[in-house]
Amino acid sequence: MKMHEASRGYCALELGATPQQKQEFFGQVYPFVTGENFRPTGNYLNILTTLYEHGIYANLEIREYESEIKHESMERTLSSWKALLEYYANTNGKTEALLREFYRSRMNSDGTYTTSIKGASCMLWWKV
């Protein structure tokens, strides 16, 4: 609502629309390392509902995407996911050991790691 109040024309938000538990990191890595399921703070529907409750009728466009990420080595894989994990959990030597275990069992025969990303993103926009 602060964004809406500060705007002089339009507001726009680009957000993920895929349930986080369906993503590899939130659905598999996070629970493996922390021992608990990831609890998301909300999603685009919460924002859309809040706007609606304030009499703001936002436009919504959802786009699906599919991609593949290939990391060249265990170290690149670890640094990528460890950086993301640090936003949500304390990382230490035990955390890194768990990440290594997780990815070692999923590495390609050439020492690379490939993950498929499939989901949706959305754009919310409205005139102020």
Sheet holding 10-16, edge to edge: 10-16, 113-127, 59-71
Q: What is the mean pLDDT of residues 28-47?
A: 87
Task: Write the pLDDT tens digit of every residue in 13-35.
Answer: 998 888 887 888 888 888 988 88
pTM of the prediction?
0.69
Q: What is the mean pLDDT of residues 62-81?
A: 89
With cut-offs at 50, 70 and 90, classify the pLDDT of residue 124. Answer: very high
Question: What is the token pair recorded at 107?
Answer: 């590495």
